[in-house]
Structure 1
């Protein structure tokens, strides 16, 4: 599901970025700003998805680390128990003669009997002191040996999952290296082509002057709403036309707009506009922000000198 979201997000970002460049090239600023905002939203969404994925992976690693630590503690306790088994067996077999049945009689010299009791007490004290001081060493030794202990087959990640592991050195195969190299080369070529294309489109060039006398622009005005009268259309067309007179490099001093009927209007610009100014004027007219009004450039033409 996350991969599908990544794919759709990447496609949406690519589309928004492409139309952002297209609308900037056409001088349609409102549409360019909308695409820019959409691109920003998609980028924030992709950043959130990537961050969420990283956090999930960190959480999984923490759980895996806790599980491994618990398994290591269990192995350590197991090894410690095995190390203590011989000592416990010796403690059980110490002074077996004291457990003999009482019906047997022994002849002891009182002095030897007292000496034996004293020596036994001293031996018991030495044994307790030795066992108390040896426990940290045993635990340390068990911790070092726990790494060498075999994993529990029933535990997750035990012997049953060893067969699923890839062979040693499989990650650095030649095929993977070739694929990574090919992808990097293609990405570099696409990035270079994109940079060259944008530089070519956005390069400032000297415009050739238009030798014609005037430029005519035919536009159609569409209004959305219940009151779509001819007066409202004429007013909307005049407002849009006046707002776009400052979008060209050459000032449009003699730029009258006439009504042709049926929502069609014709504007005549003198002197004639060059290609760049005409593109800016078309972009401004079609990207107008007048409420409930949309203007479409139907035709553009130049009038030669001497024509009406």
Structure 2
């Protein structure tokens, strides 16, 4: 029951961190597309924090699993009862650290049983092991010398008998069963040719998957570049552009009215477009709404930059929202 609860909590943590990574990454892209740089920076910081926390949780979980596994192995090797589901033949064969520090067969010596009994001094017994070993070695050496002499005597006629099956090897005639088969020594052996190459279908699948991933990545890069790059606009068929903005405040602003905040906002954001807006002005409309008239009319990219700056800036606890744009530029 406890293990199931731990697994469930771990999955819940991973799911929460994964959702945080996905949402913060998505908001980074959205804010970049809207040219809202302050919000994009904040979302990027949250994305970085969530990735660091996710890596830290995964590393801590991995280390905890390794430590638990090592402790189980040591406990089982020392003879302690291991937890259920861990004991097995592969664990019983693991030596304990204490056994590694002891000399060979130290357990038998501690129990009073000698490692090699024939080395222990015993009264009334004869030590015949070494003499028997030496004698056996002499006999084997003699047999090896005899075999060598016989092979040397028969080796002279082996070259003559190689071309004539059944010819005599010195005084011994080779039997017909020792002749080479028609196909050679490897006649009837299995095919030793190299194995076939890799599967072509699998290679094609891997190549197709890689191309699909590259195509999706290229499409994403092109789309992000289309929304975030600074590109020149085509001329707009209008004399001026009019943006209506609405102000909202949170807490004390330090000013009696929001008019100074709107003026500071206009002075701050008029340099966000390329080229800078040197012709235009701000006019109050009442009910915390202001009209910004810009000459010449703004194109798609210039309007996106100006709108992003107006909605992203926070001046003295005051924020602004673009209500309407006239004329609205169209994509050519």
Greater share of helix: 1
Structure 1 contact 213–302 (Cα < 8 Å) conserved: no
Structure 1 contact 28–287 (Cα < 8 Å) conserved: yes
Q: Does residue 1:41 correspond to 2:67, yes or no? A: no
Could you say if the C-alpha distance between residues 221 and 188 of structure 1 is closer, same or farther in structure 2, counting changes exceeding 3 Å? farther
Q: How does 1:146-295 map to 2 (within 5 A)?
A: 192-203=215-226, 204=229, 206-225=232-251, 232-295=257-320
Indicate the SS of the match to 1:219: strand
1:121 corresponds to = 123
1:239-284 CA distance string (max 9 Å, x none): 1111000000122111110011110100100011111000000000
C-alpha root-mean-square deviation of aligned residues, in Å? 4.0
TM-score computed with the length of structure 2 as normaliser: 0.56
- Measure how far apart 1:188 and its partner are: 8.4
- Measure how far apart 1:54 and its partner are: 1.6
Structure 2 contact 265–310 (Cα < 8 Å) conserved: yes
1:144-203 CA distance string (max 9 Å, x none): xxxxxxxxxxxxxxxxxxxxxxxxxxxxxxxxxxxxx99x96x98577535412322314
Q: How does 1:68-147 map to 2 (within 5 A)?
A: 68-70=76-78, 71-72=92-93, 121-123=123-125
TM-score computed with the length of structure 1 as normaliser: 0.60
Structure 1 contact 260–266 (Cα < 8 Å) conserved: yes
Could you say if the C-alpha distance between residues 228 and 189 of structure 1 is closer, same or farther in structure 2, counting changes exceeding 3 Å? farther
Q: Tell me, which stretches of 5 or more residues in structure 1 are unaligned?
A: 91-119, 131-180, 304-308
Could you say if the C-alpha distance between residues 237 and 65 of structure 1 is closer, same or farther in structure 2, counting changes exceeding 3 Å? same
Could you say if the C-alpha distance between residues 192 and 66 of structure 1 is closer, same or farther in structure 2, counting changes exceeding 3 Å? farther
Q: Tell me, which stretches of 5 or more residues in structure 2 are unaligned?
A: 1-8, 79-91, 131-204
Structure 1 contact 247–280 (Cα < 8 Å) conserved: yes
Could you say if the C-alpha distance between residues 227 and 280 of structure 1 is closer, same or farther in structure 2, counting changes exceeding 3 Å? closer
- Measure how far apart 1:60 and its partner are: 2.5
Q: Distance in 1 between matches of 2:321 and 2:216?
A: 33
1:84-120 CA distance string (max 9 Å, x none): 9999xx9xxxxxxxxxxxxxxxxxxxxxxxxxxxxx8
